[in-house]
Chain A
Amino acid sequence: MILGLSIGPEYYLALSALLFTIGAGGLLVRRNPLVMFMCIELMLNAANLAFISFGKEMGDLGGQLSVLFVLVVAAAEVVIGLAIVVAVMRRRPKASVDEVSVLRG
């Protein structure tokens, strides 16, 4: 029964929405900055999945190209974010974002 099921774009979009929601919920719940970054990666991946499934549905290569650009932006964002985390954690070695309430060091 499941073998004959044809997987349309709505399946991928539903999965993408679920992944995005899990990522957003984790971003709201977790207090560890590293895990919060991982949740942001989850949300970006959900967006990538939606891009690719829409691109396939439309017969357009632009979806895959957008995913490549999103990947580059995500890599740059992670590099800068982790650098900030390292700089902050060196000053105050606590793994919670709630302790960091001032902008400087």
Chain B
Amino acid sequence: MEAVTFFLAAIISLAGACGVVFLRNPVHAALSLVATLFGVAIHFINLEAYFVAAVQVIVYAGAIVILFLFVIMLLGVDRAESIKTDPIIGQRQIAILAVGGILALGALIGVAFSGDVTGVPPENAQKSTYEGGTAINSDHVHAGDDVRPDQNIKDIGRALFSTRYVFALEITALLLTIGVVGAVVLTRRPKGELDPLPDDDPPSIYRDNENSSDLESTLSEETDPSDETAADESGKDTSEETGVSGE
């Protein structure tokens, strides 16, 4: 039964991940991300991490993806991005080569060390993991063989407020405070006029604006004067494959 759950959740999460990468519309990518997060939450339940699974659904799918969708709607960038246009010449090929190389290297390492992926067998780890911990009751720290959900939550609470993790927890609170303050400061509208953008923006190693007009915003009336040539161009879909400019 665990195998069936694993493969179903693996299919869901992998399909969602592919959707994030390959769907052109950012809104669709965000919804695919929800599928991946739910799949990973199913894996967490399968691995008896019940509390983390609940937090995964609530925080990731309920808060972070909604934040993404808010920003997408706020900025009005929910138009398609062309997968085919290559912003830096050869970038896509190099990326595909790099990803393939990483996968091949991982497969090579996996074959080389196959059968002993995790190193230490769990019997030895059970004894040695928390011997150094001072204030933790060792009965409650080990994730046992057959963890009930309520026991899992109790264990996590006890461990989080033990002397081993409580400092990290406090630092986490500080980090969240910094995040809130930073978000407010960063999104504040500046007073007065801003300096004009520099002339070499975008730099000349990138393709010309006229050839990437599918990336052009619908809010083009707010763009700088240097962007007006691209904004004037009609036929947004035809110039996708016109290749390198003469620059």
A binds B: yes
Query: Number of contact residues on B: which range applies?
Result: 35 or more
Q: Please indicate the chain A residues that have their CB under 8 angstroms from the CB of B79 in the complex.
A: 95
The answer to whether A75 and B176 touch (CB under 8 A), given A15-B13, A21-B99, A60-B125, is yes
Cβ of B35 to closest chain A Cβ, rounded Å: 11
Cβ of B128 to closest chain A Cβ, rounded Å: 9
Q: Please indicate the chain A residues that have their CB under 8 angstroms from the CB of B30 in the complex.
A: 34, 38
Docked-complex contact A19 and B223, CB < 8 angstroms: no
Q: Scoring B residues 48 to 91 as 1 if CB is less than 8 Å from chain A, else 0, what string do you get?
A: 11011001100110011001100110111101010100011001
Q: Please indicate the chain A residues that have their CB under 8 angstroms from the CB of B49 in the complex.
A: 52, 55-56, 63-64, 67
The answer to whether A49 and B40 touch (CB under 8 A), given A6-B3, A23-B17, A87-B186, is yes
Q: Please indicate the chain B residues that have their CB under 8 angstroms from the CB of A99 in the complex.
A: 201-202, 206
Report A38-55 residues with CB < 8 Å from chain B CB: 38-39, 41-42, 45, 48-49, 52-55
Q: List 16 A-B contacts (CB under 8 A).
A: A5-B3, A6-B3, A13-B117, A19-B13, A28-B91, A28-B94, A29-B92, A30-B21, A35-B29, A39-B20, A52-B52, A76-B175, A79-B67, A82-B68, A86-B187, A105-B195
**Residue B108 interfacial (CB < 8 Å):** no
Cβ of B134 to closest chain A Cβ, rounded Å: 15
Q: Scoring A residues 80 to 102 as 1 if CB is less than 8 Å from chain B, else 0, what string do you get?
A: 10111111011111111011011
The contact of B7 among A2, A26, A28, A35, by CB within 8 Å, is: A2
> A interface vs B, CB < 8 Å?
2-15, 17-19, 21-26, 28-32, 34-35, 37-39, 41-42, 45, 48-49, 52-65, 67-69, 71-76, 78-80, 82-87, 89-96, 98-99, 101-102, 104-105
Q: Please indicate the chain B residues that have their CB under 8 angstroms from the CB of A68 in the complex.
A: 52, 55, 156, 160
Q: How far is the CA of A73 from the CA of B163 in the complex (A)?
A: 21
Q: Scoring B residues 12 to 50 as 1 if CB is less than 8 Å from chain A, else 0, what string do you get?
A: 011001101100001001100100110010011011110
Q: Please indicate the chain B residues that have their CB under 8 angstroms from the CB of A63 in the complex.
A: 49
Cβ of B206 to closest chain A Cβ, rounded Å: 5
Docked-complex contact B75 and A64, CB < 8 angstroms: no
Q: Please indicate the chain A residues that have their CB under 8 angstroms from the CB of B33 in the complex.
A: 38, 41-42
Docked-complex contact B223 and A7, CB < 8 angstroms: no
Which of A2, A24, A64, A69 has the most C-beta atoms of chain B within 10 angstroms of its own C-beta?
A64
Docked-complex contact B99 and A25, CB < 8 angstroms: yes
Q: Please indicate the chain A residues that have their CB under 8 angstroms from the CB of B200 in the complex.
A: 101
**Residue B98 interfacial (CB < 8 Å):** yes
Docked-complex contact B142 and A41, CB < 8 angstroms: no
Q: Scoring B residues 106 to 136 as 1 if CB is less than 8 Å from chain A, else 0, what string do you get?
A: 1000100000011010100110011000000
**Which A residue's beta carbon lies closest to that of B171?**
A69
Q: How far is the CA of A34 from the CA of B76 in the complex (A)?
A: 12
**Which A residue's beta carbon lies closest to that of B128?**
A58
